[in-house]
Amino acid sequence: DGGITQSPKYLFRKEGQNVTLSCEQNLNHDAMYWYRQDPGQGLRLIYYSQIVNDFQKGDIAEGYSVSREKKESFPLTVTSAQKNPTAFYLCASSRPPTVDGNTIYFGEGSWLTVV
């Protein structure tokens, strides 16, 4: 089945550690996104990528890094510089907005907790 796979579902990070969240899609979408969701709040954009080997900062990129070496993959690293990383992280993908009906598809999310 086509879709977006995020792993792990639950992740615990110790102070000072970097952790990487995986996101893989088999929808052949060019655009991929990472969002952060805090309880009772909407989604905020961390990073997005419109094409392989290119990505742009979103609204809250500080303390995060990404790579886009393959069309299917867009991993997110939460670095030790991110002071409040406990949140629900969502990966998404879509066709370019110039294509009619660019519905965005989301993965099931990853919960990150600092211990």
- Site residues (vs other proteins, CB under 8 A): 4, 6, 31, 33, 35, 40-45, 48, 50, 58, 88, 90, 92, 94, 96-97, 100-109, 111
Parallel, antiparallel, or unpaired: how do β-strands 10-13 and 110-114 relate?
parallel
Residue closer to other proteins by CB (options 38, 69) is 38
Nearer to other proteins, 80 or 86 (CB): 86
Q: Which is nearer to other proteins, 16 or 40 (CB)?
A: 40
Q: Which two tokens stand for residue 48?
A: 């997005």
- Where is 109: in which H helix or E strand? none
Residues 75, 47: Cα–Cα separation, whole Å: 10
Q: Calculate the CA 12 to chain-centre distance.
A: 17
Distance of CA 61 to the CA centre of its chain: 11
Q: How far is the CB of 90 from other proteins (least distance, A)?
A: 6
- Give min distance, CB of 102 to other proteins, in A: 7
Of 82 and 110, CB closest to other proteins: 110
